[in-house]
Structure 1
Amino acid sequence: MICGSRSITALPDEVCKTLDKIIAFQVNILIGDADGVDRLVQKYLHSKRYRKVTVYYAKSGLRSNIGKWTSIRVAGNYIDRDKLLCDKADWCLAIHKGNSRGTKRNIESFKPEAVKVFIL
Protein backbone atom coordinates (compact mmCIF):
# COMPACT_ATOMS: atom_id res chain seq x y z
CA MET A 1 0.00 0.00 0.00
CA ILE A 2 1.21 3.47 -0.83
CA CYS A 3 -0.35 6.49 0.85
CA GLY A 4 0.47 10.06 1.63
CA SER A 5 -0.48 13.65 2.07
CA ARG A 6 -2.72 15.37 -0.47
CA SER A 7 -0.69 18.56 -0.07
CA ILE A 8 2.50 17.03 -1.50
CA THR A 9 3.19 18.31 -5.02
CA ALA A 10 6.34 16.40 -6.02
CA LEU A 11 7.93 13.07 -5.17
CA PRO A 12 11.41 13.33 -3.64
CA ASP A 13 14.20 11.38 -5.34
CA GLU A 14 14.45 9.00 -2.38
CA VAL A 15 10.78 8.07 -2.80
CA CYS A 16 11.29 7.46 -6.54
CA LYS A 17 14.25 5.18 -5.75
CA THR A 18 12.06 3.24 -3.32
CA LEU A 19 9.33 2.95 -5.96
CA ASP A 20 11.92 1.61 -8.41
CA LYS A 21 12.83 -1.11 -5.88
CA ILE A 22 9.16 -2.00 -5.45
CA ILE A 23 8.81 -2.23 -9.23
CA ALA A 24 11.93 -4.41 -9.51
CA PHE A 25 10.43 -6.87 -7.02
CA GLN A 26 7.15 -6.94 -9.02
CA VAL A 27 5.11 -6.24 -5.88
CA ASN A 28 1.37 -5.68 -6.11
CA ILE A 29 0.63 -2.06 -5.22
CA LEU A 30 -2.58 -0.89 -3.58
CA ILE A 31 -3.23 2.85 -3.80
CA GLY A 32 -6.01 5.39 -3.46
CA ASP A 33 -7.35 7.90 -5.96
CA ALA A 34 -6.74 11.22 -4.17
CA ASP A 35 -4.75 14.26 -5.24
CA GLY A 36 -1.23 14.60 -3.90
CA VAL A 37 0.75 11.44 -3.26
CA ASP A 38 -1.81 9.04 -4.76
CA ARG A 39 -1.88 10.90 -8.07
CA LEU A 40 1.89 11.54 -8.12
CA VAL A 41 2.68 7.88 -7.50
CA GLN A 42 0.13 6.83 -10.11
CA LYS A 43 1.86 9.11 -12.64
CA TYR A 44 5.25 7.67 -11.73
CA LEU A 45 4.07 4.05 -11.99
CA HIS A 46 2.37 4.79 -15.30
CA SER A 47 5.56 6.38 -16.66
CA LYS A 48 7.35 3.11 -15.80
CA ARG A 49 4.54 1.10 -17.47
CA TYR A 50 3.98 -0.78 -14.23
CA ARG A 51 0.82 -2.89 -14.30
CA LYS A 52 0.56 -4.52 -10.85
CA VAL A 53 -1.54 -1.71 -9.38
CA THR A 54 -5.04 -1.65 -7.90
CA VAL A 55 -6.74 1.68 -7.25
CA TYR A 56 -9.26 1.92 -4.42
CA TYR A 57 -11.87 4.66 -4.35
CA ALA A 58 -14.97 5.64 -2.38
CA LYS A 59 -18.10 7.69 -2.76
CA SER A 60 -19.59 8.33 -6.18
CA GLY A 61 -16.66 8.14 -8.54
CA LEU A 62 -13.09 7.35 -9.31
CA ARG A 63 -11.05 10.57 -9.21
CA SER A 64 -7.77 9.26 -10.55
CA ASN A 65 -6.70 6.07 -12.32
CA ILE A 66 -3.96 7.26 -14.65
CA GLY A 67 -2.84 3.79 -15.73
CA LYS A 68 -6.35 2.41 -16.19
CA TRP A 69 -5.52 -0.28 -13.66
CA THR A 70 -8.05 -2.45 -11.87
CA SER A 71 -10.15 -0.28 -9.59
CA ILE A 72 -12.24 -1.23 -6.60
CA ARG A 73 -15.10 0.88 -5.23
CA VAL A 74 -15.41 0.84 -1.46
CA ALA A 75 -18.79 1.42 0.15
CA GLY A 76 -18.65 4.37 2.49
CA ASN A 77 -16.24 7.27 2.71
CA TYR A 78 -12.49 7.75 2.32
CA ILE A 79 -11.82 6.69 5.91
CA ASP A 80 -13.57 3.41 5.08
CA ARG A 81 -11.45 3.13 1.92
CA ASP A 82 -8.25 3.65 3.90
CA LYS A 83 -9.30 1.09 6.52
CA LEU A 84 -9.89 -1.48 3.79
CA LEU A 85 -6.54 -0.68 2.17
CA CYS A 86 -4.81 -1.14 5.53
CA ASP A 87 -6.61 -4.46 6.06
CA LYS A 88 -5.65 -5.76 2.61
CA ALA A 89 -2.05 -4.56 2.51
CA ASP A 90 1.00 -6.44 3.81
CA TRP A 91 3.20 -3.33 3.74
CA CYS A 92 2.88 0.43 3.63
CA LEU A 93 4.98 3.17 2.07
CA ALA A 94 3.82 6.45 3.56
CA ILE A 95 4.93 9.85 2.25
CA HIS A 96 3.94 12.32 4.94
CA LYS A 97 4.31 16.05 5.60
CA GLY A 98 3.15 15.64 9.16
CA ASN A 99 -0.14 17.43 8.54
CA SER A 100 -2.28 14.63 7.12
CA ARG A 101 -4.59 12.96 9.61
CA GLY A 102 -5.42 10.22 7.10
CA THR A 103 -1.78 9.31 6.45
CA LYS A 104 -1.08 9.36 10.18
CA ARG A 105 -4.05 7.05 10.77
CA ASN A 106 -2.76 4.67 8.08
CA ILE A 107 0.74 4.62 9.59
CA GLU A 108 -0.71 3.82 13.00
CA SER A 109 -2.72 0.92 11.52
CA PHE A 110 0.46 -1.00 10.60
CA LYS A 111 3.10 -2.71 12.69
CA PRO A 112 6.26 -0.59 12.68
CA GLU A 113 8.27 -3.22 10.79
CA ALA A 114 5.74 -3.21 7.92
CA VAL A 115 5.92 0.54 7.28
CA LYS A 116 8.45 2.76 5.58
CA VAL A 117 7.70 6.42 6.20
CA PHE A 118 9.14 9.44 4.43
CA ILE A 119 8.46 12.65 6.32
CA LEU A 120 8.86 15.78 4.18
Structure 2
Amino acid sequence: MTKIVMISGSRSIKDISAGLPSINRIMELKFSVIVGDAGGVDKLVQEYLRRSNYLNVKIYFALWGETGKPRNTTGYETVGIAGSYVNRDIAMCSVCDYGLALWDGNSRGTKENIDRTQSKIKIIRIGN
Protein backbone atom coordinates (compact mmCIF):
# COMPACT_ATOMS: atom_id res chain seq x y z
CA MET A 1 0.00 0.00 0.00
CA THR A 2 1.33 3.44 -0.95
CA LYS A 3 2.11 5.77 1.92
CA ILE A 4 0.49 9.22 1.96
CA VAL A 5 2.48 12.35 2.78
CA MET A 6 0.74 15.60 3.63
CA ILE A 7 2.81 18.65 2.73
CA SER A 8 1.67 21.84 4.42
CA GLY A 9 3.09 25.21 5.20
CA SER A 10 2.83 28.90 5.68
CA ARG A 11 1.22 31.20 3.14
CA SER A 12 3.95 33.78 3.77
CA ILE A 13 6.71 31.54 2.42
CA LYS A 14 7.89 32.46 -1.07
CA ASP A 15 10.84 30.04 -1.42
CA ILE A 16 10.64 26.31 -0.71
CA SER A 17 14.24 25.46 -1.61
CA ALA A 18 14.98 24.38 1.99
CA GLY A 19 12.30 21.70 1.63
CA LEU A 20 13.31 20.39 -1.79
CA PRO A 21 15.59 17.59 -0.53
CA SER A 22 12.66 16.19 1.47
CA ILE A 23 10.20 16.65 -1.41
CA ASN A 24 12.62 14.95 -3.80
CA ARG A 25 12.92 12.02 -1.37
CA ILE A 26 9.12 11.75 -1.21
CA MET A 27 9.05 11.48 -5.01
CA GLU A 28 11.89 8.91 -5.03
CA LEU A 29 9.88 6.77 -2.60
CA LYS A 30 6.81 7.17 -4.85
CA PHE A 31 4.60 8.27 -1.95
CA SER A 32 1.19 9.80 -2.59
CA VAL A 33 1.20 13.52 -1.85
CA ILE A 34 -1.72 15.49 -0.49
CA VAL A 35 -1.55 19.26 -0.26
CA GLY A 36 -3.97 22.13 0.24
CA ASP A 37 -4.99 24.76 -2.29
CA ALA A 38 -3.75 27.93 -0.56
CA GLY A 39 -1.08 30.30 -1.79
CA GLY A 40 2.43 30.15 -0.40
CA VAL A 41 3.76 26.67 0.32
CA ASP A 42 0.72 24.83 -1.09
CA LYS A 43 0.97 26.54 -4.47
CA LEU A 44 4.78 26.40 -4.62
CA VAL A 45 4.84 22.68 -3.81
CA GLN A 46 2.22 21.95 -6.46
CA GLU A 47 4.19 23.90 -9.05
CA TYR A 48 7.40 22.07 -8.15
CA LEU A 49 5.71 18.66 -8.32
CA ARG A 50 4.15 19.57 -11.68
CA ARG A 51 7.52 20.71 -13.10
CA SER A 52 8.97 17.43 -11.83
CA ASN A 53 6.18 15.56 -13.69
CA TYR A 54 5.09 13.94 -10.41
CA LEU A 55 1.48 12.90 -10.82
CA ASN A 56 0.66 11.07 -7.58
CA VAL A 57 -0.84 14.22 -6.03
CA LYS A 58 -4.27 15.22 -4.71
CA ILE A 59 -5.29 18.74 -3.78
CA TYR A 60 -7.64 19.20 -0.83
CA PHE A 61 -9.92 22.22 -0.65
CA ALA A 62 -12.71 23.51 1.61
CA LEU A 63 -16.27 23.35 0.30
CA TRP A 64 -17.52 26.20 2.52
CA GLY A 65 -21.14 25.00 2.57
CA GLU A 66 -21.02 23.46 -0.91
CA THR A 67 -19.99 26.72 -2.64
CA GLY A 68 -16.22 26.36 -2.33
CA LYS A 69 -14.10 25.74 -5.38
CA PRO A 70 -10.48 24.62 -5.52
CA ARG A 71 -7.82 27.28 -6.04
CA ASN A 72 -4.22 26.78 -7.08
CA THR A 73 -4.61 23.21 -8.30
CA THR A 74 -2.20 23.20 -11.26
CA GLY A 75 -4.34 20.50 -12.89
CA TYR A 76 -4.21 17.86 -10.16
CA GLU A 77 -7.15 15.80 -8.91
CA THR A 78 -9.07 17.63 -6.18
CA VAL A 79 -10.86 16.49 -3.03
CA GLY A 80 -13.53 18.76 -1.56
CA ILE A 81 -13.97 18.67 2.21
CA ALA A 82 -17.15 19.95 3.87
CA GLY A 83 -16.55 23.02 5.98
CA SER A 84 -13.66 25.44 6.24
CA TYR A 85 -9.88 25.30 5.89
CA VAL A 86 -9.70 23.91 9.41
CA ASN A 87 -11.92 20.99 8.38
CA ARG A 88 -9.79 20.49 5.26
CA ASP A 89 -6.62 20.40 7.34
CA ILE A 90 -8.13 17.99 9.88
CA ALA A 91 -9.15 15.66 7.04
CA MET A 92 -5.67 15.76 5.50
CA CYS A 93 -4.01 15.08 8.86
CA SER A 94 -6.34 12.13 9.48
CA VAL A 95 -5.47 10.34 6.22
CA CYS A 96 -1.73 10.96 6.02
CA ASP A 97 0.93 8.50 7.11
CA TYR A 98 3.60 11.21 7.23
CA GLY A 99 3.77 14.96 7.06
CA LEU A 100 6.18 17.63 5.92
CA ALA A 101 5.69 21.16 7.23
CA LEU A 102 7.49 24.16 5.77
CA TRP A 103 6.83 26.63 8.55
CA ASP A 104 7.64 30.31 9.05
CA GLY A 105 7.41 29.92 12.83
CA ASN A 106 4.27 32.08 12.96
CA SER A 107 1.51 30.45 10.91
CA ARG A 108 -1.16 29.21 13.29
CA GLY A 109 -2.67 26.82 10.71
CA THR A 110 0.67 25.15 10.03
CA LYS A 111 1.35 24.90 13.78
CA GLU A 112 -2.03 23.21 14.26
CA ASN A 113 -1.17 20.70 11.51
CA ILE A 114 2.15 20.01 13.23
CA ASP A 115 0.31 19.39 16.50
CA ARG A 116 -2.31 17.16 14.81
CA THR A 117 0.27 14.94 13.14
CA GLN A 118 2.64 14.87 16.14
CA SER A 119 5.48 12.39 15.71
CA LYS A 120 4.81 11.56 12.05
CA ILE A 121 5.82 14.98 10.70
CA LYS A 122 9.11 16.57 9.68
CA ILE A 123 9.29 20.32 10.27
CA ILE A 124 11.51 22.62 8.22
CA ARG A 125 11.61 26.13 9.68
CA ILE A 126 11.96 28.82 7.01
CA GLY A 127 12.69 32.44 7.91
CA ASN A 128 12.40 34.23 11.23
TM-score (norm 1): 0.94
Q: Which amino acid aligns with 2:30?
A: Q
Whole-Å separation in 2 of the counterparts to 1:53 and 1:30: 6
Q: Which amino acid aligns with 1:15?
A: G
Query: In the alignment, which residue of structure 1 is the partner of 2:49?
Result: 45
Query: In the alignment, which residue of structure 2 is the partner of 1:63?
Result: 71
Query: In the alignment, which residue of structure 1 is the partner of 2:3?
Result: none
CA drift at 1:70: 1.3
Query: In the alignment, which residue of structure 1 is the partner of 2:99?
Result: 92
**Structure 1 residues 28-49: Cα deviation after superposition (integer angstroms, max 9, x where no partner):** 0010000000000000000000
Question: Gaps (5+ residues) in structure 2?
Answer: 1-5
Q: Which amino acid aligns with 2:44?
A: L
**Structure 1 residues 72-102: Cα deviation after superposition (integer angstroms, max 9, x where no partner):** 1111000000000000111100000111000
Question: Gaps (5+ residues) in structure 1?
Answer: none
Secondary structure at the aligned position of 2:117 is classed as coil
Alignment counterpart, residue 9 of structure 2, candidates 4, 8, 12: 4
Q: Does 1:36 align with 2:40?
A: yes
Aligned length: 117
CA drift at 1:18: 1.1
Query: In the alignment, which residue of structure 2 is the partner of 1:79?
Result: 86
CA drift at 1:111: 2.8
TM-score (norm 2): 0.89
Query: In the alignment, which residue of structure 2 is the partner of 1:26?
Result: 30
Secondary structure at the aligned position of 2:16 is classed as coil
CA RMSD of aligned residues (A): 0.8
Query: In the alignment, which residue of structure 1 is the partner of 2:114?
Result: 107
Whole-Å separation in 2 of the counterparts to 1:63 and 1:69: 11
Secondary structure at the aligned position of 2:60 is classed as strand
Q: Which amino acid aligns with 1:45?
A: L
Whole-Å separation in 1 of the counterparts to 2:116 and 2:104: 18
Whole-Å separation in 2 of the counterparts to 1:75 and 1:103: 20
Runs of 4+ in 1 over 2 A off after TM superposition: none
Whole-Å separation in 2 of the counterparts to 1:111 and 1:92: 9
